[in-house]
């Protein structure tokens, strides 16, 4: 028997026609993702097999449904095959994650993102053909490690060996136009944006003059960007 509750396929079909994403698995990661998408104006169909999680999200997402995502019949009744983007955020049941992704791939969903709990799980998802495999705990651990070891205020790895780092503007940049500082030649990085105090962020250019207390975004090779963030 296919089990689902709170809403039927017609509501899901309407959501699929809008700017929408289906999120399967409403644990901590899936819930945070779904709420962030909603805050950005994206309609969200949330699916979980746990009745308590479904009830907890009732009224917070565009549509929330209790269903077994490993069963193709259940997903088709929810019109998942009409969604362009689906995120599989199941983390506590690796088998369910793999089976769900397999079903979604057989339905030819254009873009499937899936959470992996470890490298073996991720390898299986990649071998299945999942379009984007994400490692939330692993990625966050690496990010925090970079923040802990240095003076960076925030850190995003754009690609292996290349990063975007948020840091305080060092004194060598104060009161001088960026184009005259030679930071690209000397330090191998680019100051991409800046913020005066609590003001809005602005794109930086060669004429930008920074002041004490300013915050900057540094772009460049990870080691060089982190080293520049250490300067005072």
Q: How would you write 10-67 as a 3-class SS string?
A: HHHHHHHCCCEEEEECCCHHHHHHHHHHHHCCCEEEEEECCHHHHHHHCCCCCEEEEC
Identify any residues that bridge with 159 across adjacent strands, giving them in sequence order: 162
Neighbours of 51 (CB within 10 A): 12
Half-sphere exposure for 208 (CA within 13 Å, toward CB): 22
Average pLDDT over residues 197-220: 95
CA distances from 22 to 107, 112, 148, 151 (A): 14, 10, 35, 38
The enclosing H or E element of 77 equals helix 72-77
Q: What is the pLDDT of residue 16?
A: 58
* pLDDT reading at 4 higher than 60: no
CA distances from 165 to 90, 119, 124, 173, 210 (A): 30, 26, 32, 16, 17
* pLDDT reading at 161 higher than 70: yes
If 0-12 CB within 10 Å is exposed, 13-18 middle and 19+ buried, where does residue 75 land? buried
Among 93-107, 147-161, 179-193, which is the least confidently predicted range? 147-161
pTM of the entire structure? Answer: 0.72
CA separation for the pair 150, 144 (Å, rounded): 10
Q: What is the pLDDT of residue 15?
A: 61
Q: What is the pLDDT of residue 19?
A: 72
CA separation for the pair 73, 86 (Å, rounded): 16
Task: Name residues whose C-beta falls within 8 Å of residue 167's C-beta, 6 or more positions apart in sequence.
Answer: 151, 152, 153, 215, 216, 218, 228, 229
**Residue pLDDT, tens place only, 15-64:** 656 579 999 999 999 999 999 999 989 999 999 999 999 999 999 999 99
CA separation for the pair 53, 64 (Å, rounded): 9
CA separation for the pair 98, 24 (Å, rounded): 12
If 0-12 CB within 10 Å is exposed, 13-18 middle and 19+ buried, where does residue 205 land? exposed
């Amino acid at each position: 028997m296919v089990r689902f509750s709170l809403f039927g396929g017609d509501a899901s079909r309407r959501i699929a026609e809008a700017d929408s994403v289906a999120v399967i698995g409403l644990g901590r990661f899936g819930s945070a993702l779904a709420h962030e998408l909603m805050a950005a104006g994206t309609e969200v169909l949330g699916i979980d097999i746990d009745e308590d999680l479904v009830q907890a999200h009732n009224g917070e997402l565009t549509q929330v449904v209790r269903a077994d995502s490993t069963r193709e019949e259940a997903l088709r009744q929810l019109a998942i095959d009409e969604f362009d983007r689906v995120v599989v955020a199941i983390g506590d049941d690796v088998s369910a994650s793999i089976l769900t992704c397999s079903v979604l791939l057989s339905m030819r969903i254009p873009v499937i993102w899936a959470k992996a709990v470890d490298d073996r799980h991720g390898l299986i998802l990649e071998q299945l053909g999942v379009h984007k495999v994400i490692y939330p705990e692993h990625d966050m651990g690496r990010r925090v490690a970079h923040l802990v070891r240095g003076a960076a205020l925030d850190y995003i790895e754009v690609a292996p060996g290349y990063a975007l780092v948020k840091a305080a503007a060092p004194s060598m940049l104060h009161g001088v136009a960026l184009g005259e500082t030679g930071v690209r030649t000397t330090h191998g990085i680019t100051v991409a944006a800046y913020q005066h105090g609590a003001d809005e962020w602005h794109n930086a250019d060669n004429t930008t003059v920074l002041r004490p207390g300013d915050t900057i975004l540094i772009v460049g090779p990870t080691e060089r960007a982190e080293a520049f963030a250490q300067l005072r």
